[in-house]
């Protein structure tokens, strides 16, 4: 029995390391995608991960778990299968007509990562994937749950109700109601999922002690965006998100001075709309790869939200929302007297912003928070 357990542990360590490499490569691939280079990038992905995926599946076929770890192993095997499916779908994404394969690939990657996060206590090598390197040594303290806590922590999903859409929430595992916690509201891109977009922020939030609220749009994308046969109606998602915020505020100890808003692509568009409409709620907003929307013209004319810090991030190679429009937006907002910071990324296109959220947007939020705390001291 001891030999069987040690063999299983050794096999799992090898599988974990392969999977850690896989997660890092896929995240980098998703962030670095360029539509005009898909064939080249898919070849690079296959060169880097083809053997890894095959080896992962071979590893799991070679060793069986001891009886107490059967359930754990079954879930881990499912996570690996989701990751393998994600890889297969992403390789099939070669252009606009294969966009559905890309969405399927991202969804499978999301399902695999959620399962792995659920199993993280039994996966010591993979634990480093969930936090920044500089806090890895403190990870055990980040996982200690307060005694007698009567609210859920970790990743929580709330299903759709009459007054609001579904949403995913991350509450740090070491949450205590005796401390007020900063909150980031993060808006997914068009035709995407909120539980997927939350994962682009999880590492930063867990490392820095932030809560995350990732709303799902009422429709396939945010209601300011025109859909075939459906007129835009931004009020739908504005009301939905406000209802979510009220639920979170009534359940958890949120620092209302440090509630931030960000979103990617269509979520970036809605970040402008929601942030300027409710500038008194947010301490700062960061639209990423988005664009300004006519729905806020009346707000801009009367100068609403002029004191609200705005951080615009855009890729020079963006094929969806041309960077020239964003440059004009930055210049226009600045001339109107808005508090705008602009960061243009010369090599980035229009893709998932894992490292952008972590290395640009989060430090910007942190800087605002430090100033707000000093001002209230």
Is pLDDT above 50 for 209?
yes
Q: Give Cβ neighbours of residue 246 (< 8 Å, ≥ 6 apart).
A: none
Residue 153 corresponds to which tokens in the numbers above?
């922590």
pLDDT computed for residue 2 by the predictor: 56
Under the banding of pLDDT at 50, 70 and 90, the label for residue 87 is very high
Residue 352 corresponds to which tokens in the numbers above?
């998932």
Q: Partners of 164 in the beta sheet? A: 161
Is pLDDT above 60 for 374?
no
What's the DSSP call for residue 146? Answer: P
CA 332, distance to chain mean position in Å, is 29
pLDDT computed for residue 257 by the predictor: 96
Under the banding of pLDDT at 50, 70 and 90, the label for residue 246 is very high
Q: What Cα–Cα distance (Å) separates residue 233 from each residue in 151, 186, 270, 278?
A: 34, 20, 12, 16
Q: Partners of 287 in the beta sheet? A: 263
pLDDT tens digits, 66-84:
888 999 999 999 999 999 9
pLDDT computed for residue 377 by the predictor: 47
Q: What Cα–Cα distance (Å) separates residue 198 from each residue in 37, 99, 167, 221, 256?
A: 27, 21, 10, 16, 20
Is pLDDT above 90 for 5?
no
Q: Find, among 194, 183, 201, the residue nearest to 222 by Cα.
A: 194
Q: Report whether 182 contacts 234 (CB < 8 A).
A: no
Between CA 168 and CA 199 the distance in angstroms is: 10
Helix then strand then coil, in percent of the chain rounded to 5, is 55, 15, 30
pLDDT tens digits, 322-361:
999 999 999 999 999 999 999 999 999 999 999 999 999 9
Spell out the long-range contacts of 3-7 with Cβ–Cβ below 8 A and sequence spacing 24 or more: 4/66, 5/66, 7/63
CA 141, distance to chain mean position in Å, is 23
pLDDT computed for residue 59 by the predictor: 79
As a whole-number percent, the residues of the chain with pLDDT over 70 amount to: 97
pLDDT tens digits, 37-68:
999 999 999 999 988 888 888 878 777 888 88
pLDDT computed for residue 376 by the predictor: 55
pLDDT tens digits, 117-126:
999 999 999 9
Between CA 99 and CA 89 the distance in angstroms is: 10
pLDDT computed for residue 279 by the predictor: 97
Give the helix/strand (H/E) hosting 299.
helix 297-301
CA 13, distance to chain mean position in Å, is 27
Q: Is 93 helix (H, G, I), strand (E, B) or coil?
A: coil
Residue 377 corresponds to which tokens in the numbers above?
């001291």
Q: Report whether 195 contacts 217 (CB < 8 A).
A: no
Strands 154-158 and 167-171: antiparallel
pLDDT tens digits, 220-231:
999 999 888 899
Strands 340-345 and 310-315: parallel
pLDDT computed for residue 6 by the predictor: 83
Which of the pair, 30 or 371, is modelled with greater confidence? Answer: 30
Averaged pLDDT of the chain: 94
């Amino acid at each position: 029995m001891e030999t069987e357990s040690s063999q299983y542990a050794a096999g799992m360590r090898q599988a974990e390391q392969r999977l850690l490499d896989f997660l890092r490569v896929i995240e980098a691939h998703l962030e670095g995608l360029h539509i005009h280079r898909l064939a080249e990038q898919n070849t690079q992905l296959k060169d880097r991960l083809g053997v890894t995926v095959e080896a992962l599946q071979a590893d799991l076929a070679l060793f069986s778990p001891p009886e107490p770890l059967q359930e754990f192993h079954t879930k881990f095997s499912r996570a690996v299968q989701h990751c393998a499916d994600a890889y297969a779908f992403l390789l099939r994404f070669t252009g606009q007509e294969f966009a559905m394969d890309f969405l399927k690939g991202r969804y499978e990657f999301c399902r695999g990562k959620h399962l792995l996060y659920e199993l993280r206590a039994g996966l010591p090598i993979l634990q480093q994937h969930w936090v920044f390197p500089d806090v890895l040594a403190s990870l055990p303290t980040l996982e200690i749950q307060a005694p007698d806590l009567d609210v859920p922590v970790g990743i929580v999903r709330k299903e759709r109700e009459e007054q609001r859409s579904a949403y995913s929430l991350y509450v740090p595992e070491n949450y205590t109601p005796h401390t007020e916690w900063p909150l980031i509201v993060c808006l997914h891109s068009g035709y995407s999922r909120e539980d997927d977009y939350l994962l682009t922020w999880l590492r930063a939030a867990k490392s820095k002690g932030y809560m995350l609220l990732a709303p799902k749009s009422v429709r396939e994308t945010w209601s300011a965006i025109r859909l075939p046969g459906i007129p835009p109606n931004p009020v739908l998602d504005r009301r939905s998100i406000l209802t979510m915020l009220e639920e979170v505020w009534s359940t958890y100890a949120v620092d209302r001075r440090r509630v931030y808003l960000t979103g990617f692509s269509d979520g970036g568009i809605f970040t402008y709309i929601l942030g300027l409409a409710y500038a008194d709620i947010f301490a700062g907003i960061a639209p990423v790869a988005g664009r300004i929307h006519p729905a806020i013209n009346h707000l801009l004319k009367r100068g609403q939200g002029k004191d609200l810090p705005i951080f615009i991030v855009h890729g020079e190679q963006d094929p969806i929302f041309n960077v020239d429009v964003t440059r004009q937006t930055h210049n226009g907002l600045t001339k109107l007297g808005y508090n705008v910071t602009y960061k243009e990324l010369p090599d980035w296109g229009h893709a998932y912003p894992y490292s952008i959220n972590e290395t640009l947007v989060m430090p910007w939020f942190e800087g605002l928070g430090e100033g707000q705390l000093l001002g209230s001291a």
